A and B are shown apart, each in its own frame.
Chain A
Amino acid sequence: MTPPPERTVPPRPRAGGRDGSRVPRFSPAERWVHRTTALLLGLCVFSAGCLYLPALAELVGRRALVVTIHEWTGILTPVPALLGLVSRAFRADLTRINRFGPHDRVWLRAALRRDHRRQERPAGKFNAGQKLYASYIAGAVLVMAGTGLLMWFTGLAPLVWRTSATFVHDWLALAVVAVLIGHIGKAFADPEARRGMRTGRVEREWAAREHPLWRPDEDLVGDGHGDGPGNGHADAEHQIGGHERRVR
């Protein structure tokens, strides 16, 4: 599925209005990456359950079909993120997720101590936990895809490799599911975070509380400029867009 082209977010009402207190968090492209990845990975995990758990297997049957679904959803899971790379907002968020600042260490230490006090949990647009989760799941999906391919195309590698691939695939699957449950649980616990992923916007107050070091107004997401491959002078527009916002 190709993410639809980014479109300009309609200008926010300047004063009053319910939207006035909301700040852009995720661009449409980013939300489509998340949605399609969630759908593919969800189907992949569910079909894995139907192959692996006796109770589900007994209920669903249709083994050949379920195997096909599992193989294809699995191998396609990294695709939305790869397509998302054409989005400037998505690339910017990947950079944020990649880079750990000193505040992320503070956050992690507090998390390990189960310290929930606000001042102990400094975070930019993504907190350290989200960064670790995203990187871990990205690496895990690649390992699952690699080991999965070895089991799928049995001619690719000698038998020992395939046995090893099965072993790694099975155990990492458990670790992936555990972490996915954590991810979904966190989302369930925070309606505003879910709204951010659903609508692209979050309350300013929520942003200040959960991500105090994030400067939403300096974000690219909201201006709609320079997001997408067809935009030859993206940087120039970004400069202007940023300038306009500062002036406002």
Chain B
Amino acid sequence: MNPNTGAGPDGEGTPVGRRLVLGMLGLGAGAMAATPWLQSGLETALGAVADKDPTGVTGLLPNGGGFRYYSVTSSVPHKDDSSYRLTVDGLVDKPAAYRLADLRALPQTRLVRDVQCVTGWRVPETPFEGVRLSTLLDAAGVSPRGKAVRFTCFDGAYSESLTLDQARRSDVLVALKLKDKPIGHSHGGPVRLYVAPMYFYKSAKWLSGITVTDEVRPGYWEERGYDVDAWVGRSNGRDDDPTA
């Protein structure tokens, strides 16, 4: 043994520590290579367990399924029937402010699609219900100069945007219900956007403003590197199954 290690007789023996470190690196690389098989197996197993798990602990495991709460601000005010307003303005003929009751009085559309987050989680067949965004846009009368729609939220920070063509799709809703119940605060209630064909960051929570603009203005996460046209399976370098 090298007498200059300064470790004395304590520093002699098999280099198990080094082997363990290298072994971990090898194991990490091996697990990455084996992920396609490991992941599908685990998802099946966890899915089966989660169905019979009253504690919800499995939901916290990777790929355990279910929604995750993401907020970009420290706290979000609560809005209810009396305090909530959704404004529609910008390049429109008739700007408007809707109360919850106003939105509920409009024709409702129910969609049942998978929800796909850009971070990987997917919640299968989730019913959303609300007013088609196109209904609100038509009511406001979009000026010919209007090319895009910008969404703002009462958390004070989040924003999103769609082209006018995307916004007019029949599977883009101003959603009032999730799983057939009024949307709760933690899921972005009372009103959130629901853009079925796109990654879920497009479905802005706590929606409070719809502004028609002459060009697409990148939203919160888009200024931080995510794609503006966030089609599920065709953007953000991901290949998930499309949700619409």
Contact = CB atoms under 8 A, between A and B. Distances in A.
Given A62-B74, A142-B21, A238-B6, A163 B120 contact: yes
A64 B224 contact: yes
Interface in A72-127: 88-89, 91-102, 104, 124-125
A6 B238 CA distance: 50
A96 B15 CA distance: 9
A146 B28 contact: yes
A138 B17 CA distance: 9
Interface stretch (B29-37, B83-91, B100-108, B128-136): B29-37
Nearest to B39: A167
Contacts of B73: 61-62
Contacts of B4: 235
Contacts of B23: 139
Contact of B62 (A97, A170, A219): A170
B12 interface: yes
A95 B11 contact: yes
B72 interface: yes
Interface stretch (B63-71, B141-149, B170-178): B63-71
A53 interface: yes
B38 A154 contact: no
A43 interface: no
Looking at A88, A102, A135, A215, the one whose CB has the most chain B CB atoms below 10 A away is A135
Interface in B164-189: 186
Number of contact residues on B: which range applies?
A: 35 or more
Interface in A118-160: 124-125, 131-132, 134-136, 138-140, 142-143, 146-147, 154, 159-160
A200 B106 CA distance: 72
Contacts of B237: 154, 159, 162
B48 interface: no
A213 B8 CA distance: 11
A39 interface: no
Contact of A54 (B63, B68, B238): B68
A91 B5 contact: yes
B35 A98 contact: no
A211 B62 CA distance: 39
A132 B17 CA distance: 7
B153 to A, nearest CB: 13
Given A95-B11, A170-B62, A143 B17 contact: no
B95 to A, nearest CB: 31
B20 interface: yes
B69 A100 contact: no
B32 A91 contact: no
B68 A57 contact: yes
18 contacts: A52-B60, A54-B67, A54-B69, A54-B186, A57-B68, A58-B69, A62-B73, A63-B72, A96-B7, A98-B17, A99-B14, A101-B10, A147-B32, A159-B237, A159-B238, A167-B63, A170-B62, A214-B10
Interface of B: 4-18, 20-25, 27-28, 31-33, 35-36, 38-39, 60-63, 67-76, 120, 186, 220, 224-225, 237-239
